[in-house]
Structure 1
Amino acid sequence: MSDDRNRFETLAVHGGEPRPASNGSVVHPIYQGTVFETAPGSSVDDVRYIRLGTNPSQRHLHDRLAALEDAEAAVATASGMAAITTALHSVLGAGDHLIAAGTFYGGTHRFLVEHAGRLGWSIDVVDPADHEEWRKALRPTTKAFLVETITNPLIRVGDLAGVARFAREHGLTSVIDNTFATPVVFRPHRIGFDLVCHSATKALNGHSDIAAGVVTGSAERIASVASVLSAYGGSLDPHAAFLLARGLKTLALRVKAQNANALAIAEFLASHQKVAQVTYPGLASHPDHARAASLFDGFGSVLSFRPVGGVAAAERLMKSLRLPYTASSLGGVESLVVRPAAVGGHSGATSVEAEGVAEDLIRFSAGIEAAEDLIADFAVALDT
């Protein structure tokens, strides 16, 4: 659990760290070994083994992640998709029903459409703000409710408190993908979510050099998630765990800088005559602005916009930008742009997933560059 006496910047540096440190080292070491001596009479919980997620480097990371998300426990996975799928596997079985709210990241959507049915799961997709749709979707076999904190790539914020409350009232496990917000902006356990997932490949690591995922929750729920993860062999390698734990130290500083940059770019684009639409919850014009302001500490590092001139203009704009890379990720120290309908996670999406994902929509993930330089770069590109 986190220590509420400390602000998040302090928690990011010290939360979950062992005291005293190993052999006096301020930096927790990498334990790369797969084999550890086990004392006679030990239980399976005492076994230290990479696939089980119980290597000392893995356990250190789990403690850090739990502290940041204000959870009892956490487990790290080999990717963000491993986090989502393992969390769902831990609560759904053959014949069970899932309510899924919103337009999801393409990988999540493809798993639900292409693989969940073969597992015997049924799914209803609902509006994340429409309580009546939730009630209509509810079945005797419904076991879980899945939602994204900020939807990808449409950048909408659903009634998250309502989702958590609805799930609790109906005995469902609430699962939320908190990747776009990070615990700097929002900690879903505080409003009643049961399982919180992240693609730690993104902002939690923040340096675009590892793939990882995270699931946090109560000790009992995470034990179930870890059991499924062990069976599927999707635990995170200790060296990647070390890099992720290191990245967490600067999480608060990076995310706050990214949030500030995203807001500055959103305001600039919203005032530019060559931009037809900007979607960012930090803008008062965003339909979910009031809800986001009441839930979040900041509005995230990702926005989407549509330039005047359609797809051709969008492609010319991205090619003209000097600072952002054209790449389909987010949350790193480098700014990125991508056209989701073409090359992002929503490429090849079905009509359900792609609803509202216009061909000329550009998603911008703010890095930590100077806002003035980013704005100047966009200004030149738009003029071009």
Structure 2
Amino acid sequence: MRFQAAEPMSDLLPPTLQFEGTEEGYDNVRYTRCNNNPSQTAVAAHLAALEGTEAALPVASGMAAISSTLLALLEPGAHILIVRGPYGGTHDLVASLLKKWGVTSSAVSPEDGPEQWEALLQPGKTRLFYAEAISNPLCEVYDLAGIAKFAREHKLLSVIDATFASPVNLQPAKLGFDITLHSATKYLNGHSDLIAGVVLGGQELIETIRVTANVLGPAIDPHSCFLLSRGLRTLGLRVEQQNRNALALAQFLSEAGPKVAAVHYPGLKSSKHHKRAAELFTNGGCGGVFSFELAGGVDAAEAFLKRLQLPLVAPSLGGVESLVTRPATTSHAGLTAKERAAAGISDGLIRVAVGVEATGDLLDDFSQALAAVPGAA
């Protein structure tokens, strides 16, 4: 039987967005790749309201947010200050593509302050100070308020990747940061079924970055906007439980005895970053990521990971399920062994990104996995 449509196919398909404006210029065309689809603008407004910024630009991934921002705000020959051992993708961007473009960088440590930062400035070249809310994977906390203040005083742009904190625990705009970045794949979405990112800040800066993003092409599709909007509705509930789970597990491991060599989580009172974290983060919530090292090194780490039953051994974070990984083989595999050592990332370091499972169930699972690791009781 010959197929015959009941009505013209054009009536069955969603129409291309009709352009009704009078403003000229490519970026004013109503077109999904130009990041002005109604779904894109709706989720952008929601994100800006959460962060307390004038505007937001959702894009196709966290790295799309980072790369679009840095490519838009820097020029050949520019210099930036950047936190030590940033996220692996950020490191690769700065150390490879931007370096080829003539951009240089100077790393700062959590212990550094204005005196050390000022010594690294290159007059006429330094344009930007790049920070992270909580470092990955050692969970270090920098003097974020001091960085924003220093940037203002020296006429630098201040940019922060706030993925690990989420808007529930930190709103960098209130500290004075010009640009906030998130991998929306993580906490903002929270269900491990979406890849997205977002850039947030003042209207003028966001428009500058949007023009560059439109050229690069990392537009987020309308359905992903819907998924992100859905995830945002439970953000507060999820992050509060993840804060609780991470603190409980970090406390358990810090008290577990000689099998555990170190635990890195600013929520612990024993952490050298605790005081700063308590001052910066809402209600002391330090996020759902922590890391730790076993006394037995890589072999002990692998034995522990294989014994766990609840968490998946996989990269990423911020979802409803718990994940564990060794950063030396995932997020920081792009660094040389020497670079990882300089950043304090041992090959046996385990990063834990907790989900929203029952705290007691996670504690029981970590307890039995640790008991199976060879070593002193």
By the TM > 0.5 criterion, same fold? yes
Correspondence 1:364 to 2:373: no
SS in 2 for 1:277: strand
Q: Separation in 2 of the partners of 1:143 and 1:373?
A: 48
Pairing of 1:303-382 with structure 2 (within 5 A): 303-342=290-329, 344-350=330-336, 351-354=338-341, 355-382=343-370
Q: State the partner residue of 1:27.
A: none
Correspondence 1:300 to 2:300: no
Corresponding letter in the other structure for 1:281: P
Give aligned pairs, total. 352
Q: Separation in 1 of the partners of 2:32 and 2:100?
A: 29
1:159, 1:291 within 8 Å by CA — same for their partners in 2? yes
TM-superposed deviation, 1:270: 0.7
TM-superposed deviation, 1:221: 0.6
Q: State the partner residue of 1:177.
A: 161
TM-superposed deviation, 1:42: 4.3
Q: Separation in 2 of the partners of 1:143 and 1:33?
A: 44
Q: State the partner residue of 1:288.
A: 273
Tell me the alpha carbon deviations over residues 293-342 of structure 1, each in whole angstroms, 9 at most, x when there is no partner: 00102111000001121110100000000000000110000001001112
Q: State the partner residue of 1:143.
A: 127
Q: State the partner residue of 1:276.
A: 261
Corresponding letter in the other structure for 1:337: V
Tell me the alpha carbon deviations over residues 122-169 of structure 1, each in whole angstroms, 9 at most, x when there is no partner: 111111441232111101210000011100011100010110001000
Q: 1:40 to 1:110 in 2, by over 3 A?
A: closer
Correspondence 1:51 to 2:33: yes
Q: Separation in 1 of the partners of 2:197 and 2:42?
A: 15
Gaps of 5+ in 2: 1-12, 373-377
Deviates more, 1:246-255 or 1:345-354: 345-354
Q: Separation in 2 of the partners of 1:34 and 1:326?
A: 43
Tell me the alpha carbon deviations over residues 183-204 of structure 1, each in whole angstroms, 9 at most, x when there is no partner: 0000000010000000111111
1:128, 1:147 within 8 Å by CA — same for their partners in 2? no
State the 4+ residue runs in structure 1 displaced beyond 4 angstroms. Answer: 42-46
Q: Separation in 1 of the partners of 2:334 and 2:93?
A: 13
2:311, 2:322 within 8 Å by CA — same for their partners in 1? yes
Q: State the partner residue of 2:53.
A: 71
Tell me the alpha carbon deviations over residues 240-273 of structure 1, each in whole angstroms, 9 at most, x when there is no partner: 1110111001000000100100001011111102
Deviates more, 1:102-111 or 1:216-225: 102-111
2:186, 2:319 within 8 Å by CA — same for their partners in 1? yes
Aligned-CA RMSD value? 1.4
Q: 1:109 to 1:33 in 2, by over 3 A?
A: farther
Q: State the partner residue of 2:183.
A: 199
Q: Separation in 1 of the partners of 2:278 and 2:84?
A: 19
2:92, 2:334 within 8 Å by CA — same for their partners in 1? no
Tell me the alpha carbon deviations over residues 87-145 of structure 1, each in whole angstroms, 9 at most, x when there is no partner: 11121011111111121111111111111111221111111441232111101210000
Q: Separation in 2 of the partners of 1:34 and 1:119?
A: 41
Correspondence 1:37 to 2:47: no
2:110, 2:140 within 8 Å by CA — same for their partners in 1? no
1:34, 1:50 within 8 Å by CA — same for their partners in 2? no
Q: 1:322 to 1:34 in 2, by over 3 A?
A: farther
1:71, 1:218 within 8 Å by CA — same for their partners in 2? yes
Q: 1:33 to 1:283 in 2, by over 3 A?
A: farther
SS in 2 for 1:90: helix
Q: Separation in 1 of the partners of 2:370 and 2:63?
A: 35
Q: 1:108 to 1:46 in 2, by over 3 A?
A: closer
Corresponding letter in the other structure for 2:369: A
Q: Separation in 1 of the partners of 2:64 and 2:230?
A: 21
Q: 1:278 to 1:33 in 2, by over 3 A?
A: farther
TM-superposed deviation, 1:40: 6.1
Q: State the partner residue of 1:134.
A: 117
Identity %: 50
TM-superposed deviation, 1:352: 3.2
Gaps of 5+ in 1: 1-31
Q: Separation in 2 of the partners of 1:251 and 1:269?
A: 27
SS in 2 for 1:322: coil
Normalising by structure 2, we get a TM-score of 0.91
Q: 1:299 to 1:34 in 2, by over 3 A?
A: farther
